[in-house]
């Protein structure tokens, strides 16, 4: 492993931001590559079924056309022939998710966070065109960007894993990158920036991949994000933590919103709001 990659891995462990570890592969390292790839046992006879697949029903969520909850998605998945295409533009913004303005980053974000949810069916191809529209460096240590698709296996698309300094160089300001990967798994996950502390600036959102489920349900209500929220940028918090240790952040957000008061305990306000929506 190259020293720079080891450094990046250590950094993401320290920052608790690395969830799927990508191993850098040298061009002449095909033996290592072979070891990393699992053996496929894909049932190509199901391809016709994939094309006609209409998913499952509220009364039978365990099956998904010719596959089901017991299919080993590490080695077999549908090939739907469908591509889901998204365009993300990441901007410096002043956001007020709880009424208190703060410098932040947003995906397609005039309104705030989280960014748009990616929806797909099991076996679809996902294409995301990311444009880094950052234009100034104030409050940010650097303006590079990479977006990581959390929990996605990235079968034969390791370079699209979105981990800066490990699987790609960062996307420079006013530059773009197109990520392309297959939804070989299903369920609810999320994407987030994987450069510096930009995820906590607001660059994150949901990924919903429809597929079989272990229990029946009537209606999918979508994603629910619960996260701490500071009124200072992550870089400012980072330096404070280095000097004084862990900090209690100002507020918590529910799907990117909450109320806040400078005089009352915001966690009590959060609790009131939660009760109101029961
Ligand atoms: Cu992650």
> Residue 164 C-alpha to ligand 1 middle, in angstroms?
13
Per-residue confidence (pLDDT) for residue 51, from 0 to 100: 72
pLDDT digits (tens, 9 = 90+) for 136-165: 555 454 689 999 999 999 999 999 999 999
- pTM here is 0.79
Distance 131 CA to ligand 1 centre (A): 20
**Are the C-beta atoms of residues 17 and 194 closer than 8 Å to each other?**
yes
**Cα-to-centroid distance, 88 and ligand 1 (Å):** 18
Go through the domains of the chain in sequence order and give each one's CATH number.
3-24+47-215 (2.60.40.420)
Q: How far is the CA of 162 from the centre of ligand 1 (A)?
A: 10
Cα of 16 to ligand 1 centre, how many Å?
Answer: 9
Give the Å distance between the CA of 116 and the centre of ligand 1: 16
* pLDDT tens per residue across span 192-242: 999 888 999 999 999 999 999 999 999 988 899 999 999 999 989 999 999
| 8 A C-beta contact, residue 66 and residue 162 | no
* CA 150 / ligand 1 centre spacing (Å): 4
Q: How far is the CA of 145 from the centre of ligand 1 (A)?
A: 15
Euclidean distance between CA atoms 194 and 199, whole angstroms = 7
φ, ψ (nearest 5 deg) of residue 181: -155, 160
Mean pLDDT calculated for residue range 176-203: 94
Give tens-digit pLDDT for 28-80.
Answer: 444 544 555 556 766 666 666 777 778 888 999 999 988 999 999 998 899 88
């Amino acid at each position: 492993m190259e020293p720079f990659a080891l450094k990046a891995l250590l950094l993401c462990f320290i920052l608790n931001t690395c969830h799927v570890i990508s191993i850098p592969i040298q061009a002449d390292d095909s033996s290592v590559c072979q070891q990393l790839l699992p053996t496929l046992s894909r049932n190509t006879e199901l391809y016709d079924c994939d094309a006609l697949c209409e998913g499952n029903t509220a009364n039978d969520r365990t099956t998904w056309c010719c596959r089901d909850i017991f299919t080993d998605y590490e080695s077999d998945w549908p090939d739907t022939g469908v591509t889901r295409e998204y365009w993300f533009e990441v901007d410096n913004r002043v956001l007020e998710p709880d009424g208190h303005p703060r410098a932040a980053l947003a995906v397609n974000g005039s309104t705030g966070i989280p960014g748009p949810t990616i929806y797909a069916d099991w076996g679809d191809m996902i294409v995301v065109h990311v444009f880094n529209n950052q234009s100034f460096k104030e409050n940010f240590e650097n303006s590079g960007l990479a977006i990581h698709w959390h929990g996605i296996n990235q079968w034969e698309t390791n370079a699209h894993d979105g981990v800066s300094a490990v699987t790609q160089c960062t996307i420079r300001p006013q530059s773009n990158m197109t990520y392309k990967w297959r939804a070989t798994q299903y369920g609810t996950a999320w994407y987030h920036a994987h450069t510096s502390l930009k995820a906590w600036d607001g660059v994150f959102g949901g990924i919903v991949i429809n597929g079989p489920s272990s229990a029946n349900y009537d209606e999918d209500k979508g994603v629910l994000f619960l996260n701490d929220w500071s009124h200072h940028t992550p870089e400012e918090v980072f330096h404070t933590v280095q000097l004084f240790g862990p900090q209690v952040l100002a507020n918590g957000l529910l799907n990117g919103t909450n109320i806040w008061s400078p005089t009352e305990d915001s966690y009590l306000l959060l609790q009131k709001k939660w009760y109101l929506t029961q």
